[in-house]
């Protein structure tokens, strides 16, 4: 039997919440909770949609495992509340979380640091004419990817194949976010690479290559079908995998991330240039999720991964002291 972990105090696994990704968060949280209990951790489920966060302090929780996804969980808001409560938590701090949830702000930081990311345009809800929507493909080409700036799990994402599809795609993304990101579509290998740790000690885990039906890695194919294939080892040439890992590590560090994260990447089929799409600072931990899959390939079990992340809980305030 593996060694039990009993010295981490009372632990809240934050799951559910009020974002569009609530369903996935509950799946992640239940998996994390079961893993921590199996390792002997005094862990309890805690849904911020149903309970006041102040109860964490009143009930003596010593730390939190954040298994929330999307807004009000992955965007710095819960992190800020936990800072005020003085309860250490998993994952990135307030600033890194708030930047990383915003795909446009993330791109701006990466571009400033010389990190390749697809060309893009931003439409602000209520602040553009329909003619501007139709003009987007003139600048970015077709197909073009349209998505809300601050959602995850491929919610509200459309791959637009022709001019006639632009208005519906923008309307869908705009129903979820005031900022609509239109992005150049990079055709090629779709890969993802998790990172664990902080600063100079952060390490990139094995790259996973994603092969989805008709190349459509949408919400359904991410979580609810068995038709998507995940290749780890990725099958990329060794030099390419190492280049992706090095690029992902740099991108993670420049945002000031800590604990863990996962960065999604497209590799151009013609040039073999990797382009970074976005970063997840509270990745999924479901049965279909990619961080545990990559960790397993690196010799880290799901249970050990959960404990390792929990052991890395921190507060911005203490780091700055």
Instruction: Write down the pLDDT at residue 153.
Output: 64
Instruction: Write down the pLDDT at residue 1.
Output: 38
Biggest CA-to-CA distance, the chain: 64
Give yes or no for a cis peptide into 233 (omega within 30° of 0). Answer: yes
Instruction: Write down the pLDDT at residue 178.
Output: 93
Q: What does the H/E/C string look like for the chain? A: CCCCCCCCCEEEEECCCCCCCHHHHHHHHHHHHHHHHHCCCEEEEECCCCCCCHHHHHCCCCEEEECCCCCCCCCCHHHHHHHHHCCCECCCCHHHHHHHCCHHHHHHHHHHCCCCCCCEEEEECCCCCHHHHHHHHHHHCCCEEEEECCCCCCCCCEEECCHHHHHHHHHHHHCCCCEEEEEECCCEEEEEEEEECCHHHCEECCCEEEECHHHCCCHHHHHCCCCCEEECCCCCCHHHHHHHHHHHHHHHHHCCCCCEEEEEEEEECCCCCEEEEEEECCCCCCCCCHHHHHHHHCCCCHHHHHHHHHHCCECHHHHHC
Q: 227 an active-site residue?
A: no
Catalytic residue among 183, 278, 303, 316: 278
CATH number of 17's domain: 3.40.50.20
Catalytic residue among 16, 19, 21, 189: 21
Rounded-to-10 torsion of CA 186, 187, 191, 192: 20
Tell me whether residue 49 is exposed, middle or buried, using C-beta atoms within 10 angstroms of its C-beta: 0 to 12, 13 to 18, 19 or more.
Answer: middle
Is position 1 within any domain?
Answer: no
Mean pLDDT of the chain: 93
Question: Residues 130, 221: one domain?
Answer: no
How many residues are given for the chain? 321
Task: Show the low-confidence residues of the chain (pLDDT under 70).
Answer: 1-4, 153, 214-225, 319-321
Instruction: Write down the pLDDT at residue 115.
Output: 98
Instruction: Write down the pLDDT at residue 205.
Output: 98
Question: Residues 154, 292: one domain?
Answer: no
Catalytic residue among 19, 97, 153, 221: 153
Place of tokens 């009000």: 72
How confident is the model over 158-180, as pLDDT tens digits? 999 999 999 999 999 999 999 99
Question: Residues 256, 112: one domain?
Answer: yes
Q: 175 an active-site residue?
A: no
Question: Residues 83, 135: one domain?
Answer: no
Return the closest-CA partner of residue 183 out of 42, 89, 58, 277: 277
At residue 16, what are phi and psi to the nearest 5 degrees?
A: 90, -100
Instruction: Say what the pTM is.
Output: 0.92
Domain boundary among 184, 202, 220: 184
Catalytic residue among 218, 264, 303, 316: 264
Q: 278 an active-site residue?
A: yes
Question: Residues 38, 77: one domain?
Answer: yes
b (16+ CB within 10 A) / e for 7-19:
ebeebbbbbbbbb
Domain span at residue 32 reads: 10-90
Q: 272 an active-site residue?
A: no
CATH number of 290's domain: 3.30.470.20
Instruction: Write down the pLDDT at residue 238.
Output: 87
Question: Residues 143, 175: one domain?
Answer: yes
Catalytic residue among 25, 98, 221, 280: 280
Q: 262 an active-site residue?
A: yes
Q: 280 an active-site residue?
A: yes
How confident is the model over 89-116, as pLDDT tens digits? 999 999 999 999 999 999 999 999 999 9
Catalytic residue among 89, 223, 252, 275: 223
Catalytic residue among 262, 275, 282, 302: 262
Instruction: Write down the pLDDT at residue 213.
Output: 74
At residue 15, what are phi and psi to the nearest 5 degrees?
A: -145, 160
């Amino acid at each position: 039997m593996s060694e039990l972990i009993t010295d981490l105090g009372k632990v809240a696994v934050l799951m559910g919440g009020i974002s569009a990704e609530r369903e996935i968060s509950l799946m992640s949280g239940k998996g994390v909770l079961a893993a921590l209990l199996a390792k002997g951790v005094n862990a309890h489920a805690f849904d911020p949609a149903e309970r006041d966060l102040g109860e964490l302090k009143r009930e003596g929780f010593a730390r939190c495992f954040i298994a929330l996804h999307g807004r009000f969980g992955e965007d710095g808001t819960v992190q800020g509340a936990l800072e005020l409560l003085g309860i250490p938590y998993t994952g990135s701090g307030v600033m890194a979380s708030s930047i990383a949830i915003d795909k446009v702000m993330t791109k701006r930081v990466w571009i400033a640091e010389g990190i390749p990311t697809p060309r893009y345009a931003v439409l602000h809800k209520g602040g553009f004419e329909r003619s501007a929507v139709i003009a987007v493909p003139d600048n970015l080409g077709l197909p073009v990817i349209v998505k809300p700036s601050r959602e995850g799990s491929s919610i509200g994402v459309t791959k637009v194949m022709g001019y006639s599809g632009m208005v519906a795609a923008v309307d869908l993304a705009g129903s979820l976010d005031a900022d609509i990101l239109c992005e150049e579509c990079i055709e090629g290998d779709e890969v993802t690479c998790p990172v664990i740790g902080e600063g100079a000690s952060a390490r990139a885990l094995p790259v996973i290559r994603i092969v989805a039906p008709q190349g459509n890695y949408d919400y359904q194919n991410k979580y609810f079908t068995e038709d998507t294939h995940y290749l780890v080892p990725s099958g990329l040439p060794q030099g390419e995998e190492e280049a992706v890992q090095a690029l992902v590590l740099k991108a993670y560090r420049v945002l000031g991330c800590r604990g863990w994260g996962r960065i999604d990447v497209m590799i151009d089929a013609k040039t073999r240039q990797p382009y970074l799409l976005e970063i997840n600072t509270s990745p999924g931990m479901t049965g279909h999720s990619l961080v545990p899959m990559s960790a397993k390939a690196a010799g880290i079990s799901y249970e050990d991964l959960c404990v390792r992340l929990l052991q890395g809980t921190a507060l911005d305030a203490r780091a700055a002291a």
